[in-house]
Structure 1
Amino acid sequence: MHSDPAHVREFFAARAADWDDRFPHDGPAYRAAVAEIGLRPGQTVLDAGCGTGRALPFLRHAVGPSGAVVGADLTPEMLAAAVRAGRGADGALVLADCARLPLCDDVVDAVFAAGLIGHLPDPGACLRELARVTRPGGLLALFHPIGRAALAARQGRRLTPDDLRAEPNLRPLLDEAGWTMNGYTDTDDRFLATASTKA
C-alpha cells in the first residue's frame, strides 16, 4: 500500500486527530481479540503500530499491574493522539519504525498488531524484527476490527489473490520471518491471524 516509511507517516499524520472519531465502535472488537490471544498477568506485550493506542487499555488489563505494555508507532501525531486520549498511562509509548525497534532480543512475550501489515513497505522485514524481539514460543496477533472483504468494500476496492493477508500468502510470509501460524479468522466483523515464534 505504501512505498516507504515517510509515506506511511504522512498518511497517518494527516488522519491522527480524528482517527478515533472515524471508527468509534471498534472497542469491543479490540477487547475480544486481546482476550483471545491469552495474555497472562506479568507478561510483556508490544503493540506494534499502536496508532492512537486503542488496544493499550485492553493489553494493560490483560497483563495487569505487574506486566509491561509498550506501544510503538512511526507517526508522532498518532502517539500524541494516544496521550490526549489518556492512553499513555496504559503503556510506554515509543516513536519507532516496526522494522527497526529500539528493543533487545527476546524481551516481549507477545506482539499485538492492529491494521499494521497492510501499511508496511517491507512486511517481511517487520515480521522478522517482531520475531527478533519476541521470546521463543512468544505470540503474534495480526488483527483488524473488520475482515478483508469488508475492508476492501470500505476502501472501494476489490479483493485480489495477491492480498497480503490472504492465508496462502500470509502463512509463508510468517514462516520465512520466523513465525508459525497458529490460527486464522477472516469474517466480516474480524480479521485475526495468530502465530508463535519458532523455538
Structure 2
Amino acid sequence: MTANHTLVQEFFGARAAGWDARFPGDGPAYAAGAAALGLRPGDAVLDAGCGTGRALPALRSAVGPGGTVIGADLTPQMLDAAVGAGRDRDGRLLLTDVARLPLRSEVLDAVFAAGLVAHLSEPEANLSELARVVRPGGRLALFHPIGRAALAARQGRQITDGDLRAEANLRPVLGASGWRMVAYTDEDALFLVLAVREA
C-alpha cells in the first residue's frame, strides 16, 4: 500500500461514520450525475471510490434489477457506512483499490466516480485501469456535487493552475488513458465530466 493510500484511508476512515450527515442535501446532485451516464436497463456500472454508496441507489434505478452495480472503495469504514445505510442492497461492495480492480477487461458499460480524481496517486495510470474494465464506447462520469471554486472555498484554499480537474489539464490525461472527453461542466452546484471509452 502506498503512502497516498494510507493517507486516503486515514482521512476517510476517520470521517466515515458522519459523512452522510455532513452533506445531507447531495442526493439530487448524485441522481443527476448518475443520470448523465445514460445507463440502460441491464447495463453494468462501477461506482469507483463509492464511499458510503450515495450514488448506488440512482445507479441501481438506472440499470434495473437485471443490471449490475458494483461499488468499490479503499476504505473499510466507508463501506461499513454504506452497509449501515442499506446501500449494499443496491450494489455489490468491493474493498479494493480502483487502480487494481479485480474485474475482467471490457466487462462494464460505465464508470461513475464521485470526488475520485483528486485522490488518484497516478491519474493517467489509474484512469487507464478504469478504461480497461469498460467496453469500447462505454462511458465515464467524473462527478462532484459542487464545482471546483465552491469546493476550494469550502476547504479554505485557492484553485491552482495545476488542478487536475481543470479542463485544460484533465482533457489530455483522459486522452492518454483511453478516454475521450465529451462534456465538461464546472459550476457552483455541479462538477461533471463525461468521457467515452475509445476503441
TM-score, L = length of structure 1:
0.98
Partner SS, residue 40 of structure 1 = coil
Partner SS, residue 17 of structure 2 = coil
1:35 Cα offset (Å):
1.3
| 1:83 aligned residue | 83
**Which whole-Å CA distance do the structure 2 matches of 1:52 and 1:37 have between them?**
20
1:192 Cα offset (Å):
0.1
Partner SS, residue 136 of structure 1 = strand
Further displaced range: 118-127 or 159-168: 118-127
Further displaced range: 121-130 or 162-171: 121-130
1:91 Cα offset (Å):
0.2
1:160 Cα offset (Å):
1.1
Q: Conserved in 2, the CA contact under 8 Å of 1:3 and 1:121?
A: no
| 2:93 aligned residue | 93
Q: Conserved in 2, the CA contact under 8 Å of 1:46 and 1:112?
A: yes
Letter in 2 for 1:162: G
1:191 Cα offset (Å):
0.2
Q: List structure 1 segments (4+ residues) > 4 angstroms apart after TM superposition.
A: none
Q: Conserved in 2, the CA contact under 8 Å of 1:57 and 1:90?
A: yes
Q: Which runs of no fewer than 5 residues in structure 1 stay unpaired?
A: none
* CA displacement 1:142-164 (0-9 Å, x = unmatched): 00000000000000001111111
| 1:26 aligned residue | 26
| 2:175 aligned residue | 175
Partner SS, residue 16 of structure 1 = helix
**Which whole-Å CA distance do the structure 1 matches of 2:102 and 2:78 have between them?**
18
1:3 Cα offset (Å):
5.3
| 2:36 aligned residue | 36
* CA displacement 1:120-153 (0-9 Å, x = unmatched): 1111121010000000110000000000000000
Letter in 1 for 2:176: E
| 2:64 aligned residue | 64
Number of residues paired by the alignment?
A: 198
**Which whole-Å CA distance do the structure 2 matches of 1:119 and 1:131 have between them?**
17
| 1:166 aligned residue | 166
* CA displacement 1:66-124 (0-9 Å, x = unmatched): 10000000000000000000000000000010100000000100000000000111111
TM-score, L = length of structure 2:
0.98
Query: What percentage of residue pairs aligned between the two structures are identical?
Result: 67
Letter in 2 for 1:48: A
Q: Does 1:7 align with 2:7?
A: yes
**Which whole-Å CA distance do the structure 1 matches of 2:153 and 2:127 have between them?**
27
Partner SS, residue 52 of structure 1 = coil
After TM superposition, the structure 1 = structure 2 runs for residues 42-191 of structure 1, keeping only pairs within 5 Å, are 42-191=42-191
Q: Conserved in 2, the CA contact under 8 Å of 1:99 and 1:126?
A: yes
